[in-house]
A = this chain, B = another copy of it.
Amino acid sequence: MSKLALEHFLPYRLNRLSSAVSQQFRAVYGPHHDLTVPEWRVLATLAQFGTMTAKAIGKHSSMHKTKVSRAVRALEERRWLVRRESEHDRREESLSLTATGLKAYSEIVPRALAFEARILAALGPNAEPLLEALALMEQHFPMD
């Protein structure tokens, strides 16, 4: 009978690693701003591209529209984000960060990059192939 060792099984290992990294990453912005992951993604996406719609945010950050909707509301209540009704199409809204939101973002980013750099440094020469493998798998798994 075939045998399978869970601790060496790829899906399990990926899941484990991803949770651990996410959890550690929360410590990067958590203590200062207490964001959820979806809120962080919306913040990062808006900072990256400027004004855009909720739909576009969801597409870029791989989030379900309800997740986006809730994160947008949370950021709005925090006054980090404003909604503006789109002129061409009144179904969608143009979202953008406030000065406060941008400020918070600018405080988080260096810490986030440092966190990432710390991980990559720990991988040493394996970093490059890991990124390569990630890209391959991303392309191999249709994620939308």
Which residues of A come within 8 Å of B, CB atoms? 1-7, 9-22, 24-25, 37, 41, 44-45, 47-48, 60-62, 106, 109-110, 112-113, 115-116, 119-120, 122-124, 126-127, 129-130, 132-134, 136-138, 140-141, 143
A73 to B8: give the CA distance in the assembly, Å.
26
* Contact (Cβ within 8 A) B127 A4: no
A8 to B40: give the CA distance in the assembly, Å.
15
* Contact (Cβ within 8 A) B141 A3: no
CB nearest to A21 among chain B residues? B11
Determine the chain B residues whose CB is within 8 A of the CB of A16 once the complex forms.
62, 138, 143
* Contact (Cβ within 8 A) B112 A9: yes
